[in-house]
Amino acid sequence: MNSGKDVIVDDNIAPILKGSELLTKTSHDVHYAFIQITTNTLVYVHHLVLGPRPEGKVAHHHNGNTLDNRRVNLSYVDRSVNNHNRVKPGGIIPYFGVSRRKSGRYRGTVSKDGVRKWTPSYETAEQAAWARDLLALKIYEHHAKLNFPENFYKYMRMLDHSLYIKRCSSCRVIRPSSDFNKGHCRCKLCRITLKAK
């Protein structure tokens, strides 16, 4: 490859790339892998893997590594989701979407479709980063870029009113939203309750 960068692909894509020269293109300090079909035609590797791009969608690399073109790392998403995950921590605050106010307190921010939402102010940057992660999960759901991804399930318990998890009205158990049918989860007790109605 021309840049010395390693491109990661699935085994089924590797034979397609074998006969072509794999190149990288740098755009705003981000590297993308592509192959050159003709003099004027470039095909990005992530488009080879994902197939035709739906209108209004862009390719998204879930782990942030644009040279990791495995199918599990790619999906088409709205541009606002892709831009949200592109944000990098900068300056002296080591967290995504956290800024220091003139008062010395910290607050988090999340933007989607040009609308910016703020968290309340906190004493420490870490507290603001936690609040910002919760706000990002409410807005971007599972596509959210988190400062503390290891706390994903803890956040979900904190957001039991969110789209992710709900408390069953019959058995009072907290379950993923996808497990619900007409307000009841799919546990044995609730299935019996639904049949009785």
Q: Give the model confidence (pLDDT) of 90-119 as tens digits.
A: 567 888 889 888 898 999 999 888 889 999
CATH number assigned to the domain comprising residue 76: 3.90.75.20
> 68 in a domain, yes or no?
yes
Widest pairwise Cα distance in the chain: 69
Residue 88 in tokens: 């990098």
Per DSSP, which regions of the chain are E strands? 22-27, 30-38, 41-44, 57-61, 74-78, 98-100, 106-112, 115-118, 165-167, 174-176
Residue 57, strand partner residues: 78
> 43 in a domain, yes or no?
yes
Tell me the pLDDT tens digit for each residue of 139-185. 887 778 888 888 877 777 776 544 455 556 665 555 555 555 555 56
> 64 in a domain, yes or no?
yes
Q: How far apart are CA 31 and CA 182, in angstroms?
A: 47
What confidence category does residue 42 fall into, taking pLDDT thresholds of 50, 70 and 90? confident
> 47 in a domain, yes or no?
yes
> 158 in a domain, yes or no?
no
- Output the pLDDT for position 161: 46
What's the domain range around 37? 1-86
* pTM for the predicted model, two decimal places: 0.51
Question: Total structural domains in the chain?
Answer: 1
> 31 in a domain, yes or no?
yes
- Output the pLDDT for position 1: 45
- Output the pLDDT for position 107: 92
In this structure, of 29-38, 78-87, 177-186, the range with the lowest mean pLDDT score is: 177-186
> 6 in a domain, yes or no?
yes
Tell me the pLDDT tens digit for each residue of 126-142. 999 989 998 888 888 77
